[in-house]
Amino acid sequence: MASHHQDIKASIANLKTFTSGDLIPAATKGLELIGWDTLELSNQKVPVDKGNLLGTSFVSEPEVKGDEITVSIEYPEKYATIQHENVALNHRTGEAKFLEKATNEKQDSYANELAGHVKKLMKKGG
């Protein structure tokens, strides 16, 4: 596997409490913002030798399929999966499971963050 990524998904059904405006663009932008926040936290944990993992990480464009929105956080370097999965590696800076740990740390706040982003974006008009 050439890249390690984590998908963050939001179900539009979980956001149906909003009744005005266009929900999908606001939820899509909100989820993208959460992706960038998660990437920032992950990058604080990423192992650094020459900085290639850190320098090539990104958040994908949101993908909307039906009532599901997906944003992927990616580290495209060929060795990203090894650095992420091999907990036996001795990292001088950073740690294994950097993306998984960042996602897990933020997991409980995703719904509230997304709702906050959607409310704010819908007030602004998208």
Q: What is the mean pLDDT of residues 111-119?
A: 83
Terminal CA-to-CA distance of the chain, rounded, Å?
A: 36
Is 88 or 13 the better-scoring residue by pLDDT? 88
Output phi, psi for 119, to 5 deg: -60, -45
Question: What pLDDT does 66 receive?
Answer: 76
If you search the block for the tokens 């998208």, which residue do you land on? 126
Question: What pLDDT does 20 receive?
Answer: 41
Angle at 34 between CA 57 and CA 114, to 5 degrees: 165
Question: What pLDDT does 97 receive?
Answer: 94
Is 17 or 107 the better-scoring residue by pLDDT? 107
Read off the pLDDT of residues 29-77 as tens digits, 9 standing for 90 and up.
Answer: 888 999 999 999 999 999 998 878 889 999 999 988 877 888 999 999 9
* Boundaries of every domain in the chain: 4-124
